């Protein structure tokens, strides 16, 4: 087995949830990042784990082949493989890791297991190599809402996270009860542009508490109660923009407030935002305004790198392999986010 160097080609694989993705790094350059989203879950109103696993089995070989083709390389050029091992859906993770182990064995290439959350935290390095430590990372997706204090690639700690729903989950659940379908975060964002964010005063969970944890389930209940009691279940097209804007404002206000307070309390020189909710236009605008006011850097990766993708797994895998860290073939997958604090 040859050793992994700065110039080596790396293949990365991500199958932790409902995106089948493969990426190729040629040295430092992200040469391909192919993402195949399992859109069929929308008709069930949520992700069905068994169907996600089957879809990964069906599409992963073609997604990997396409990534290699786009990068202009073959498996024999690959000097290292990185794969998501946790956290995520067990069956879905088994598909990706088994495939990666098979390739590693067949082509005698070093393999490294990567923590999906580390992928989100360090994804900003793909487009900003000069990003300096220490920084804060706000990871906001359908499954996670956490703030990390990041001192180096090896040294980071979680300083706050949600105690119930994730921010994306809150967007999706509220969007669903407003009749916008699933997943509705992006639709809520779009409809909210026509609405007044101050129209309805929804609660801001844990806003005034000193810690950096979040709670969004009270907001969801409050929107439901408002729709049932005040609107008598009549969510008209006229009311919808104000409802979306007001509920969105409640989520965004807390995310921005806690992240900036964490920035004020720590030595962080920049804020990184990642995960699907980083696409939210109101969150981006408010963070931008506040970060500029404080002269603190704000790094939000481009959309393709914010949502689940193998490129972010590759950047972490590459750093690990360059530091001589390999996983061998014995590692197991885990759905557990706690274990995932350290890969
Ligand atoms: O990171 P991601 O693609 O997948 C996982 O959660 O694993 O994030 C998806 C989440 C969904 O909850 C979706 O509704 C939310 O991100 N989302 C948004 C927006 N775009 C996607 N939420 C608010 N505003 C958006 N523009
Ligand atoms: Zn994710």
Q: Does a structural domain hold residue 192?
A: yes
CA of 298 to the centre of ligand 1 (A): 19
Residue 2: per-residue pLDDT: 74
Output the CA 16–ligand 2 centroid distance in Å.
8
- My answer on whether 250 and 324 are in the same domain is no
By the 10 Å C-beta count (0-12 exposed, 13-18 middle, 19+ buried), 320 is classed as buried
Q: Would you call 33 helix, strand, or coil by DSSP? A: strand
Residue 304 alpha carbon to ligand 1 centre in Å = 12
Cα–Cα distance measured from residue 82 to residue 337, given in angstroms and rounded to the nearest whole number: 19
Residue range(s) defining the domain that contains residue 33: 9-121+307-336
Q: Is the pLDDT of residue 339 over 70?
A: no
Domain CATH number, residue 252: 3.30.420.40
Q: Which atom of ligand 1 is nearest to the CA of 143?
A: 6
Q: How far apart are CA 88 and CA 336, in angstroms?
A: 7
151 vs 148: CA distance, rounded Å: 10
The rounded distance, in Å, linking the Cα atoms of 149 and 154 is 12
**246/278 same-domain check:** yes
Residue nearest atom 24 of ligand 1, based on CA coordinates = 280
The reply to whether 106 and 168 lie within a common domain is no
What angle in degrees, to the nearest 10, is found between the helix axes of 240-265 and 217-225? 160
How far is Cα 161 from Cα 117, in angstroms, rounded to an integer?
13
- Same domain for 152 and 265, yes or no, is yes
State which H helix or E strand residue 196 sits in.
none
> Could you tell me if residue 80 is inside a domain?
yes
Are 134 and 271 contained in the same domain?
yes
- The answer to whether residue 2 is domain-embedded is no
How far apart (Å, rounded) are the C-alpha atoms in residues 319 and 122? 10
Residues 148 and 193 in one domain: yes
Q: How many domains does the chain have?
A: 2
260 is a domain residue: yes
Confirm whether 4 is domain-assigned.
no
The answer to whether residue 208 is domain-embedded is yes
SS3 of residue 20 by DSSP: strand
Question: Among 46-55, 233-242, 250-259, 277-286, which is the least confidently predicted range?
Answer: 46-55
pLDDT number for residue 337: 60
The average confidence (pLDDT) of the chain is 93
Query: In a 10 Å sphere around its CB, with 0-12 CB exposed, 13-18 middle and 19+ buried, how is residue 154 labelled?
Result: exposed
86 and 205 inside one domain: no
Residues 283, 266 share a domain: yes
Q: Which of 125, 126, 151 is nearest to 136 (CA)?
A: 151
- Ligand 1 centroid to Cα of residue 307, in Å, is 7
Rounded to whole angstroms, the Cα distance separating 86 from 96 reads 11
In a domain, 212, yes or no: yes
Render pLDDT for 296-325 as a digit per residue (tens, 0 to 9).
Answer: 999 999 989 998 999 999 999 999 999 999
82 with 153, same domain? no
- Is the same domain home to 137 and 115? no
Average pLDDT over residues 142-161: 93
> Do 175 and 62 belong to one domain?
no
Residues with CB under 6 A from ligand 1: 17, 141-143, 168, 171-172, 183, 185-186, 189, 275-277, 279-280, 307-308
**Ligand nearest 18 Cα, by number?**
1
DSSP assignment letter at 278? G
Question: Are residues 69 and 194 part of one domain?
Answer: no
- pLDDT of 253-269, one tens digit each? 999 999 999 999 998 99
Q: Which ligand is nearest to the CA of 119?
A: 2
In a domain, 164, yes or no: yes
């Amino acid at each position: 087995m040859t050793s992994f160097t700065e110039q080596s080609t790396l293949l990365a694989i991500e199958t932790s949830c409902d995106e089948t993705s493969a990426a190729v790094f040629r040295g430092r350059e992200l040469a391909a990042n192919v993402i195949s989203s399992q859109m069929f879950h929308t008709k069930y109103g949520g992700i069905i784990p068994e169907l996600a696993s089957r879809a990964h089995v069906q599409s992963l070989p073609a997604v990997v082949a396409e990534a290699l083709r786009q990068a202009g390389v073959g498996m024999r050029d690959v000097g290292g493989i990185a794969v998501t091992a946790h956290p995520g859906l067990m069956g879905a993770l088994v598909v990706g890791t088994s495939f990666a182990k098979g390739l590693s064995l067949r082509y005698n290439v070093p393999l490294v297991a990567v923590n999906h959350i580390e992928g989100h935290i360090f994804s900003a390095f793909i487009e900003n190599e000069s990003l300096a430590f220490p920084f804060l990372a706000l990871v906001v997706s359908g499954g996670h809402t956490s703030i990390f204090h990041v001192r180096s690639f090896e040294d980071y700690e979680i300083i706050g996270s949600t105690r119930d729903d994730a921010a994306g989950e809150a967007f999706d659940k509220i969007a669903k009860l407003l009749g916008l379908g699933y997943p509705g975060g992006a639709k809520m964002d779009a409809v909210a542009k026509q609405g007044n964010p101050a129209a309805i005063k929804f609660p801001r969970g844990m806003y005034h508490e000193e810690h950096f944890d979040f709670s969004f389930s009270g907001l969801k209940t409050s929107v439901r109660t408002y729709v049932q009691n005040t609107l008598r279940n009549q969510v008209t097209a006229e009311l919808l923009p104000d409802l979306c804007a007001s509920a969105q404002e409640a989520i965004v206000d807390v995310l921005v407030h806690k992240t900036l307070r964490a920035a004020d309390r720590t030595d962080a020189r920049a804020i990184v935002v990642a995960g699907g909710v980083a696409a939210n236009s109101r969150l981006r605008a408010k963070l931008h305004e506040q970060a500029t006011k404080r002269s603190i850097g704000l790094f939000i990766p481009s959309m393709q790198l914010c949502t689940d993708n193998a490129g972010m797994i590759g950047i972490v895998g590459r750093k690990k392999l360059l530091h001589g860290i390999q996983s061998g073939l014995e590692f197991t997958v885990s759905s557990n986010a706690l274990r995932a604090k350290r890969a």
